[in-house]
Amino acid sequence: MRTRKALAALIVASAVALTACGSDEGDGGGDSTDGPVTTSDLGIEVAGEAGEKPTLTIPDEDPPSDLQVQVLSEGDGEEVGENDVVVANYLGQTWEPRAAEAPAPEDPAATDPAEDPAATEGSAGGATDPSATEDPSATEDPSEAPADAEPYVFDNSYDRGQAAGFSLNQVIPGWKDGLTGQPIGSRVLLSIPPDQGYGAQEGHDLQNDTLVFVVDIIDSIDPTASASGEAVADLPEGMPAVTDGEEGAAPTLDFAGATPPEASDTTVVVTGDGPELGANLVVNMVQASYPDGADVISTWDEGQAPIVLAPEQLAGIPGLAEALTGQTVGTRVVSRISATDNPSPDGGEGTPLVLVIDIIGSF
């Protein structure tokens, strides 16, 4: 099976990484938080309203040896499916404090599944999505905290002012197990032991740590979803015909009468019937090559997952950003990529491609 990297070859590489967490320039761990204080069954105090950046006070005692999940505030939405793409805000902190100068990991909860085949096997999460960072401190016993140790908030989305979207199949096991089945709108506390975090990732900054997360679940998106809305009439000549697949399956392409494009373009073929698009998109894609639709690869394939795209990454597909202006969730576009815009590895003229892109979510 082809890799995610091949599927998204025309997108900036960072667009492909489905991250449950990303590092911050400043984690804001010392900020004070107004609002109610909830004491969990583990003795962890969580200060702040649901949906706002929390502050954690973790007791000075040994962490639990197994995964602990507690719903601090239960939402009233649908339950998160075990393979869903979850949109959430979160804060992650190690159970044990660290010296103030300890560096934050490059990406604590996710690796790029395009570069780490294990991510498609569910061995990652914030992932195996959210890359390991070489840090000598990872070899130290985290229980031997220095005298000047402080709470170590290694990542949070609240300071970035933007929720994260990630597949539960590309996050550390503690995320997948802890968030599956939770209602949308819930605030969930997770205590994740190393064997369900980064214990298997040699040299990872968090390899030996028990991780504590507060997660505010904003949305959950079915990974098998496809476009929904009204088909557009009078499409340009020479385009391949796109037919919906069976429920939960990829659309199919018919290249009879299709002609390779001289210049790349993107055309809306289904006008979505969902909410307006936000800054970030969750998409399912099919890629096939001219002249006959060979070399088909798809995010609907087993072991794959939808792709989360940030605004600056839409430029990787010619005309995509412009075509999606004013569109809604459920929209389907067809991008025709010229041979010139898909060069071969040696820099010569490559193979023209077609991408069918279904917008299945946005945040």
HEC per residue, 87-109: EEEEEEEECCCECCCCCCCCCCC
Which CATH number fits the domain that encloses residue 345? 3.10.50.40
Question: Residue 176: in which H helix or E strand, if any?
Answer: helix 173-179
Q: What is the arithmetic mean of pLDDT over 215-228? A: 98
Candidates 25, 5, 26; CA nearest to 16 is 5
Point out the domain boundary residue: 202, 221, 240. 221
Q: Identify whether the C-beta of residue 270 lies closer than 8 Å to the C-beta of residue 330.
A: yes
Q: Does any domain span residue 26?
A: yes
Q: Identify whether the C-beta of residue 77 lies closer than 8 Å to the C-beta of residue 71.
A: no
Q: What is the arithmetic mean of pLDDT over 240-266? A: 95
Comparing 21 with 205, the larger pLDDT belongs to: 205
Please indicate, yes or no, whether residues 268 and 213 belong to a single structural domain of this protein.
Answer: no
Please indicate, yes or no, whether residues 202 and 275 belong to a single structural domain of this protein.
Answer: no
Please indicate, yes or no, whether residues 59 and 113 belong to a single structural domain of this protein.
Answer: yes
Report the predicted TM-score, pTM, of the whole model to 2 decimal places.
0.81
Q: Identify whether the C-beta of residue 75 lies closer than 8 Å to the C-beta of residue 217.
A: yes
Q: Identify whether the C-beta of residue 194 lies closer than 8 Å to the C-beta of residue 177.
A: no
Comparing 74 with 128, the larger pLDDT belongs to: 74
Predicted pLDDT at 273: 97
* Domain span at 203: 4-129+158-221
Query: Quick one: pLDDT band at residue 345, thresholds 50, 70, 90?
Result: confident
Q: What is the arithmetic mean of pLDDT over 55-82? A: 97
Q: Identify whether the C-beta of residue 178 lies closer than 8 Å to the C-beta of residue 67.
A: yes
Report whether pLDDT(348) > 90. no
High-pLDDT (> 90) share of the chain, %: 73
Point out the domain boundary residue: 195, 221, 247. 221
**One-letter amino acid identity for 331?**
T
Report whether pLDDT(115) > 70. no
Predicted pLDDT at 125: 40
Count other C-beta atoms under 10 Å from residue 288's C-beta. Answer: 19
Q: Does any domain span residue 309?
A: yes
For residue 122, count CB atoms less than 10 angstroms from its CB and return exposed for 0-12, middle for 13-18, buried for 19 or more: buried
Predicted pLDDT at 324: 97
Please indicate, yes or no, whether residues 234 and 305 belong to a single structural domain of this protein.
Answer: yes
Q: Which residues pair with 356 in a beta bridge?
A: 286, 334
Predicted pLDDT at 149: 87
Averaged pLDDT score across all residues of the chain: 84
Predicted pLDDT at 32: 46
Q: Residue 22: how many CA atoms within 13 Å on its side-chain side?
A: 18
Predicted pLDDT at 131: 35
Q: How many domains does the chain have?
A: 2
Candidates 309, 272, 216; CA nearest to 14 is 309
Distance CA 292, CA 138 (A): 51
Please indicate, yes or no, whether residues 264 and 357 belong to a single structural domain of this protein.
Answer: yes
Write out pLDDT tens, residues 142-168.
Answer: 445 566 789 999 999 999 999 999 999
Question: Residue 4: in which H helix or E strand, if any?
Answer: helix 4-7
